[in-house]
Amino acid sequence: MAVTLDSAQEAQWKRWRAVADLYHAYFTGLILTVVTRRGTADAAEFVFRVFRRQQQERFLPGLKKLGISHLPPAVAAAQYHYLSNWIGGVHVEYMYESDAKAWIRYPPPRWIWKGTAICGVPGEVSRAMLRGWHANNGVALGDLRLGFVCTKQSVDGQDGLEGYYYQYDHPLELDQRLVFARHLEAPLFDAKTAPALPVASWPKPRLEKAYRNYAMEYVRTAAPVMVQLFGPEDASYLLHLTGKLIGMQSFDEVASALSAGRGGAGEFASFLQALFTAQDDAAEMTSSEGTFEIRQQSWKLMDDVADYHPACAKVLEGLFEGLAAGCGRHIGVHMRAPAGGRPPLMWTIE
């Protein structure tokens, strides 16, 4: 019985990781789509807003969840990046120097710029990520003396993204909260002295679900940010195009984890229903004469997004069209949605 349970859990975790990989690829692809279709400046502004929004929503609650809110500001900020990214499967190093100075380092390969994607990311876009999140942690903590000093950027050809949080002896102006010191280098990482999650409150099942959610939440943030920044028409195009491209590239890997395979409309409908289950969405399927209808009753990822816009559904529409193309030729995927663009969403596959 225990072996069966373990096997079922492993299969579930494999499905969750496939969902994480799909949304991870989508988020990275979305940034590259903006770079190539709208240019570096727009991509940098988009990344800045995504990471600032994530920082405002997740940083302070995350400190409490991780049990590190009592630490000195520089140490708490650095440990947050170390622990939260570790949960999401991102390789990060943490080096304590003093209560006023703590390092973080993202060694290669970079999670966010997976594989060859790193070749298409301008330095300005990477800096925007730091401006959006790292430079604002002191503000969030109510300590304007806290800033981030970046010593390396991977996209500039250096061996990782690294820097340190430092608590100065005076409040920092806006342009002082992120500075660069390329002549410095982080100390070596020692895993034995690094912080660790309490095993009792972070068991394996919780970690696996958090791993999936980590990647998905980037898309949860990015879609409404894109609509607000570029407007519904342009955002719809960018969200849909990215989804289609990523879906076409990702079908085989996702299908393998979901115990699915290539084929026609029937095979894709079964795949899609399994995907909904893997991302915790309720869906019901009916079929008639080779046409399949799936009623997606929930989209939990976007449930509590206050500024949700119907254009955000282009994420799913693009992804599913791309995944269908990866499954087989001439599989039609059509979505019908209520006026507000929220579930129930009706998918016709034929």
> Are both 180 and 250 inside the same structural domain?
no
Is there a contact between 337 and 310 (Cβ–Cβ < 8 Å)? yes
Burial class (CB in 10 A: 0-12, 13-18, 19+), 107: middle
Its pTM stands at 0.95
The single residue listed with the structure tokens 């915790």 is 280
> Are both 189 and 43 inside the same structural domain?
yes
> Are both 140 and 242 inside the same structural domain?
no
- Determine the pLDDT at residue 199: 75
DSSP code of 246? H
215 within domain boundaries: no
The single residue listed with the structure tokens 């019985």 is 1
49 within domain boundaries: yes
- Determine the pLDDT at residue 198: 79
- Determine the pLDDT at residue 166: 98
Query: What domain range includes position 335?
Result: 234-349
Final residue belonging to a domain, choices 143, 175, 193: 193
149 within domain boundaries: yes
User: What does the DSSP assignment read for 91-139?
Assistant: --EEEEEETTEEEEEEPSSPSTTTGGGGGG--HHHHHHHHHHTGGGHHH
- Determine the pLDDT at residue 5: 60
- Total count of domains within the chain: 2
307 within domain boundaries: yes
213 within domain boundaries: no
CATH of the domain at 62: 3.90.1520
> Are both 243 and 335 inside the same structural domain?
yes
Is there a contact between 184 and 155 (Cβ–Cβ < 8 Å)? no
Give me the average pLDDT of each 10-residue run along the chain (350 residues). Answer: 74 96 98 98 98 97 96 98 94 97 97 96 98 98 98 98 98 98 98 88 90 96 98 98 98 97 97 97 95 97 96 98 98 95 96
> Are both 167 and 265 inside the same structural domain?
no
> Are both 240 and 188 inside the same structural domain?
no
- Determine the pLDDT at residue 9: 93
d(CA 69, CA 71): 6
Q: Which residues pair with 336 in a beta bridge?
A: 346
Final residue belonging to a domain, choices 144, 162, 193: 193
